[in-house]
Amino acid sequence: MVINLKYLSIWILIIIKYNMEINDGHYLELMDRIHVVSCTIDEHILNHPLCEINKDIQNKIDEALELMMEAYQMVGNKTPN
């Protein structure tokens, strides 16, 4: 399973649309969830034997993992001080 960042953006827009109150804890919570998903992708998908022998599949999963890491950094940079 690859997390589509488009859906993450849609989720954020829904929160804003319905005026859900965001608090400081939401930032750390989202960073933690991104980290958990990234670790799962790395441990259980990227290192799967089929991925290791099919570089085209491995490259796509690597790209998804890089996007997750970028999203993690984005959230971290938006975290209130």
Q: In whole angstroms, what is the distance from residue 36 CA to residue 18 CA?
A: 27
Q: What is the pLDDT of residues 1-22, one digit of tens each?
A: 555 666 667 776 766 666 668 8
Question: Which residue, chain included where needed, has tokens 């890089």?
Answer: 66
Per the CB < 8 A criterion, the answer to whether 15 and 22 are in contact is: yes
Q: What is the pLDDT of residues 39-58, one digit of tens each?
A: 999 999 999 999 999 999 99
Q: In whole angstroms, what is the distance from residue 46 CA to residue 81 CA?
A: 34
Parse the chain into domains and list their residue ranges: 5-78
